[in-house]
Chains A and B, each alone.
Chain A
Amino acid sequence: MDKMPKWADIVLIPVISLLLAAFFSSLVILAIGESPVEAFKLMVDGALMRSAGWGYTLYYATNFMFTGLAVAVAFHARLFNIGGEGQAMIAGLGVALVCLYIPWPHWSLAILGASVGAALFGALWALIPAYLQARRGSHIVITTIMFNFIAAALLNYVLVELLRPVGAMDPASAKFPAGTHLPTFQDMFSTESSKMFRGAPANVTFFLALAACVFVWLLIWRTRLGYEIRAFGQSETAAKYAGISPVRITVIAMLISGALAGMMAVNTTMGESERLILNATEGAGFIGIAVALMGRNHPLGVCVAAILFGFLYQGGAELALWTNIPRELIVVIQALVILFTGALDNMVREPIEKLFIAMRRRNA
């Protein structure tokens, strides 16, 4: 017997948590002397009322879908991958190498190649922490954080010393050749008469992210591997009993997680900047944690949560454009969302559970 209906668990509770987060965010906005209503209107106008706004919202959402899925897959194996940031950074390198050194005839082939490069490099960067966790019991939370720092240093080295064209100021690689340029939403959806998504960075990778959601759903709930990952995540002792090797699952789950996190580099590096830059990840790896949490580690939930966070990002940019609200406000809002949807989940859940049980008693 469940304590409450499923819809309450996956819709009602997150919505209430979000409202709480919004309420406290409003207090913060009030405290710094701005109007929450105005701010909210600006965000909605800028992020959702124009096609270009959507173009940005979905661009960010693409990143968050990948990192959110990455965190979710690891979570199913009860592994806390805080290293999405570093994995995506290194994956960018994979994308850059593929794009720079292989002459691609057409973007459709290039995106496949770049995806392989991104996934491979991302997975590789997750491999060592995974192995250390599985074999030596080194806490994966700490090692993945350390690997974020190490990734930044490595990427910096590669960009400053190896990939930077001579004379360029930017610690960035050369522009990728034209054969690798991905069609943006503007290219895809604009007509002669009306330009849609003008200048927005959203591109075909978005559909790749949607595909990744489907892939993860199949993987987790329809394959043997997914069955084993979830089983291991629920009970390590039971997994051992069933002949599921903890080492193998830990490593595989982290490889998949790293590969997914890495895939976001296709969006940022190939789709947006079209060259490898230092700071392409911009914290998306961490946002993935919030996204996975809000999405209850389910691909559909991750997809919706990613769009919500994409909206927050784009809305935040609009705020920064037209008001004096510092950009850190968005960080605070993120924190509140994580706090209320994740850590303080029971604060909302328990009263609601009680409510449902009481209601059921009365009906019975």
Chain B
Amino acid sequence: MEFLDIVQLLDTSIRLGTPLLFACLAGLFSERSGVVDIGLEGKMLIAAFFSAAAAFYTGNAWLGLLAGIAASMVLAVIHGLASITFRGNQLISGVAINFLAAGMTVLVAQSWFKQGGRTPPLTGNGRFGNVELPFAIGPTEAEAAGRPLSQMIGEAGPIQQLYSELISGHSILVYLGVLAVVATWWILFRTRFGLRLRAVGENPAAVDTAGVSVIQLRYAAVLICGVLCGLAGAYMATSLQAGFVKDMTAGRGFIALAALIFAKWRPVYAMWACLLFGFFQALETRPDLIEAVIGMKVQIQLLGALPYILTVVILAGFIGKAIPPKASAEPYIKER
């Protein structure tokens, strides 16, 4: 295995890790406030559809993003109603939301586009292009030189490879993802809102008696969760891909939840956890490298199950006991 292989593998990990990261941070806000959300998957899915649909109609990826976020927030409000206002079972609400998104996206897509639950492919500004950082070798350079990009990168030095392949050339949303990690950390640990948010996930009664509304805080968290899931879904449909196909999130919302546990509900850990899970998924695309390393052919089925197996192994083995926010999954009930 060469250096470039590793760089490429990590590059894929970043791309595949980004939707996980947005979803994971979404879950982080929600769970830190005491609302467990296994409906991340559904919110991502609906955001993916509406972002693709809006981007298709307007030809503008940013408008698509806004539409995706809005759609995701609608589901977030439903989850909020169920788990905050009506103090229902949060897991069940999440299951319902996942079903709702799976059904609604296809139903609406079929009714709008008549293409069997997919949007037409996005072109041009309907998608987020890739950002080329200064000094990096990118498509522009390749075109100028008239040679394939992969060849040019292959010939470059290791630092340049690292920079051009790994750091540069991602969608703007990927960089936004990194920014979101920093922002999450800052909000959580440096602002009044963050203090209250963390408190309400640990002991809502303490927040309530301190004169702060538990309901408002939790709704705020759930809405932020909606925004971040919207980003995750829009990234998938308008950046990783050029359009929506049914069930395109393919369980990523659940992997994000596992990453959240692995990250012990902390933003920076969350980034590493998502990169790790992204890496597992990246491995799946490179059976040749696995073969080269372990020296034998891996069953495709085993390969496909690898991210899930590793998730279980990590949850079971490597994190010790992850203690969730104390009040998570508990509706705040004052009067029985």
Whether A146 contacts B311 in the complex (CB less than 8 A), given A32-B107, A328-B102, A335-B96, comes out as yes
Q: Is B117 an interface residue (CB 8 A)?
A: yes
Contact of A328 among B90, B117, B257, B321 (CB under 8 A): B117
CB of A142 within 8 A of CB of B103, answer no
Chain B residues near A128 (CB-CB < 8 A) = 312
Q: Which residue on chain A has the smallest CB distance to residue B92?
A: A342
Q: Which residue on chain B has the smallest CB distance to residue A330?
A: B103
Stretch at the interface among A38-46, A131-139, A200-208: A131-139
Chain B residues near A336 (CB-CB < 8 A) = 96, 100
Q: How far is the CB of A150 from chain B (nearest CB, A)?
A: 5
Q: How far is the CB of A266 from chain B (nearest CB, A)?
A: 25
- Scoring A residues 134 to 152 as 1 if CB is less than 8 Å from chain B, else 0, what string do you get? 0011110111011101100
Contact of A335 among B103, B251, B299 (CB under 8 A): B103
**Number of interface residues, chain B, beta carbon within 8 A:** 46
Q: Is A326 an interface residue (CB 8 A)?
A: yes
Q: Is B254 an interface residue (CB 8 A)?
A: yes
CB of B302 within 8 A of CB of A153, answer yes
Q: How far is the CB of B92 from chain A (nearest CB, A)?
A: 4
- Scoring B residues 92 to 110 as 1 if CB is less than 8 Å from chain A, else 0, what string do you get? 1101111110111011001
Whether A28 contacts B107 in the complex (CB less than 8 A), given A150-B308, A339-B78, A345-B88, comes out as yes
Chain A residues near B78 (CB-CB < 8 A) = 339
CB of A149 within 8 A of CB of B251, answer yes
CB of A326 within 8 A of CB of B100, answer no
Contact of B99 among A33, A142, A160, A286 (CB under 8 A): A286
Q: Is B87 an interface residue (CB 8 A)?
A: yes
CB of B309 within 8 A of CB of A150, answer yes
CB of A138 within 8 A of CB of B315, answer yes
Contact of A326 among B90, B110, B302, B322 (CB under 8 A): B110
CB of B92 within 8 A of CB of A338, answer yes
Contact of A146 among B107, B299, B312 (CB under 8 A): B312
Contact of B95 among A157, A332, A338 (CB under 8 A): A338
- Scoring A residues 322 to 364 as 1 if CB is less than 8 Å from chain B, else 0, what string do you get? 0000101111111110110011111100100000000000000
Q: Is B261 an interface residue (CB 8 A)?
A: yes
CB of A149 within 8 A of CB of B83, answer no
Q: How far is the CB of B210 from chain A (nearest CB, A)?
A: 26
Whether A328 contacts B261 in the complex (CB less than 8 A), given A154-B305, A342-B88, comes out as no
Q: How far is the CB of A288 from chain B (nearest CB, A)?
A: 11
CB of A343 within 8 A of CB of B107, answer no
Q: Is B89 an interface residue (CB 8 A)?
A: yes
Docked complex: A249-272 residues within 8 A CB-CB of B: none
Docked complex: A6-61 residues within 8 A CB-CB of B: 28, 31-33
CB of B99 within 8 A of CB of A343, answer no
Whether A142 contacts B95 in the complex (CB less than 8 A), given A132-B312, A157-B301, comes out as no
Q: Is B304 an interface residue (CB 8 A)?
A: yes
Q: How far is the CB of B101 from chain A (nearest CB, A)?
A: 8
CB of A339 within 8 A of CB of B301, answer no
Chain B residues near A343 (CB-CB < 8 A) = 82-83, 86, 88-90, 92-93, 96
- Cα(A342)–Cα(B82), bound, Å: 9
**Number of interface residues, chain A, beta carbon within 8 A:** 47
Q: Is A289 an interface residue (CB 8 A)?
A: yes
Q: Is B174 an interface residue (CB 8 A)?
A: no
Q: How far is the CB of A44 from chain B (nearest CB, A)?
A: 21
Contact of B82 among A157, A326, A344 (CB under 8 A): A344
Q: Is A217 an interface residue (CB 8 A)?
A: no
Chain B residues near A156 (CB-CB < 8 A) = 301
Q: Is A104 an interface residue (CB 8 A)?
A: no
Docked complex: B244-261 residues within 8 A CB-CB of A: 251, 254, 257-258, 261
Q: Is B195 an interface residue (CB 8 A)?
A: no
- Cα(A231)–Cα(B153), bound, Å: 64
- Cα(A333)–Cα(B102), bound, Å: 11
- Cα(A141)–Cα(B111), bound, Å: 34
CB of B305 within 8 A of CB of A33, answer no
- Cα(A292)–Cα(B202), bound, Å: 30
Q: Which residue on chain A has the smallest CB distance to residue B254?
A: A145
Chain B residues near A346 (CB-CB < 8 A) = 86-88
Chain B residues near A107 (CB-CB < 8 A) = none
Q: Is B292 an interface residue (CB 8 A)?
A: no
Whether A141 contacts B38 in the complex (CB less than 8 A), given A326-B117, A343-B89, comes out as yes
Q: Which residue on chain A has the smallest CB distance to residue B299?
A: A157
Q: Is A293 an interface residue (CB 8 A)?
A: yes
- Scoring B residues 312 to 336 as 1 if CB is less than 8 Å from chain A, else 0, what string do you get? 1001110001100000000000000
Q: How far is the CB of A80 from chain B (nearest CB, A)?
A: 6
Q: Is B91 an interface residue (CB 8 A)?
A: yes
- Cα(A326)–Cα(B91), bound, Å: 27
- Cα(A31)–Cα(B111), bound, Å: 9
Q: Which residue on chain B has the smallest CB distance to residue A340?
A: B96
Whether A332 contacts B103 in the complex (CB less than 8 A), given A154-B305, A156-B301, A286-B95, comes out as yes
CB of A335 within 8 A of CB of B107, answer no
Looking at A331, A333, A343, the one whose CB has the most chain B CB atoms below 10 A away is A343
CB of A339 within 8 A of CB of B87, answer no
Docked complex: B218-266 residues within 8 A CB-CB of A: 251, 254, 257-258, 261
Q: How far is the CB of B322 from chain A (nearest CB, A)?
A: 8
Chain B residues near A142 (CB-CB < 8 A) = 254, 257-258, 261, 311, 315
- Cα(A317)–Cα(B311), bound, Å: 37
23 A-B residue pairings within 8 Å (CB atoms): A31-B111, A80-B91, A137-B322, A142-B257, A142-B315, A143-B316, A146-B311, A153-B302, A289-B92, A326-B106, A328-B104, A328-B117, A329-B107, A331-B99, A331-B103, A331-B106, A334-B103, A338-B95, A343-B86, A343-B92, A344-B86, A344-B93, A346-B88
Chain B residues packing against A (C-beta within 8 Å): 38, 78, 81-83, 86-93, 95-100, 102-104, 106-107, 110-111, 117, 251, 254, 257-258, 261, 299, 301-302, 304-305, 308-309, 311-312, 315-317, 321-322
Q: 5 nearest interchain CB pairs?
A: A331-B103, A343-B93, A335-B99, A332-B103, A335-B100
* Other 14 A-B pairs with CB < 8 A, given A335-B103, A344-B88, A347-B86: A136-B317, A146-B254, A146-B308, A153-B301, A153-B302, A157-B302, A326-B110, A329-B103, A332-B99, A339-B93, A339-B100, A342-B92, A344-B86, A346-B87
